[in-house]
């Protein structure tokens, strides 16, 4: 996940807002992934669910533009929870990647020269 901070900070305001929206959705899937993993003990499942719940709160505040909840604030919490366990780290990495892919696919910056195909017929 070393790629993530730079990528998040490179997004414009609209794209970052969309990212938070998509990441919120991905955290729900991440919680289901942890809960359904029969190889994990109950304590590990609870740890993962708590981490994702905390990140949902931070994501909401970042999405809403709450005072003091800028990208650095959000990133510090992602890092904190990603380092709780290997399994949380993996599932969280997938959630971040999927949310970023959705932003890239659906929220192209207005300043992007490749916004429209050359052959627009």
Interatomic CA distance for residues 5 and 39, integer angstroms? 31
pTM over 0.85: no
DSSP string, 93-107: HHHHHHHHHHHHHH-
Range of the domain at 90: 13-106
Residue 2 in any domain: the answer is no
Alpha-carbon separation of residue 42 from 33, 63, 81, 85 (angstroms): 13, 31, 18, 14
Domain count, the chain: 1
Assess contact for 95 and 23: CB atoms under 8 A: yes
Quick one: pLDDT at residue 21? 92
Is 85 contained in some domain? yes
Question: Has residue 116 been placed in a domain?
Answer: no
Percent of the chain with pLDDT over 70: 87
Neighbouring CB atoms inside 10 A of 80's CB total: 13
- 33 and 91 in contact (C-beta within 8 Å)? yes
Residue 8, in any domain of the structure:
no
Would you say residue 4 lies in a domain? no
Band of the pLDDT at 108, cuts 50, 70, 90?
low
């Amino acid at each position: 996940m070393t790629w993530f901070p730079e990528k998040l900070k490179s997004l414009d305001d609209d794209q970052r807002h969309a990212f938070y929206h998509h990441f919120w959705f991905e955290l729900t899937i991440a919680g289901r992934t942890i809960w359904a993993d029969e190889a994990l003990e109950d304590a590990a499942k609870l740890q993962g669910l708590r981490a994702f719940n905390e990140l949902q709160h931070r994501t909401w505040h970042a999405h809403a533009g709450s005072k003091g909840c800028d990208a650095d604030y959000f990133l510090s919490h992602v890092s904190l929870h990603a380092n709780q366990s290997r399994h949380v780290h993996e599932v969280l990495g997938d959630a971040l990647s999927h949310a970023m892919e959705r932003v890239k696919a659906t929220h192209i910056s207005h300043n992007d020269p490749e916004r429209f195909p050359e052959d627009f017929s």
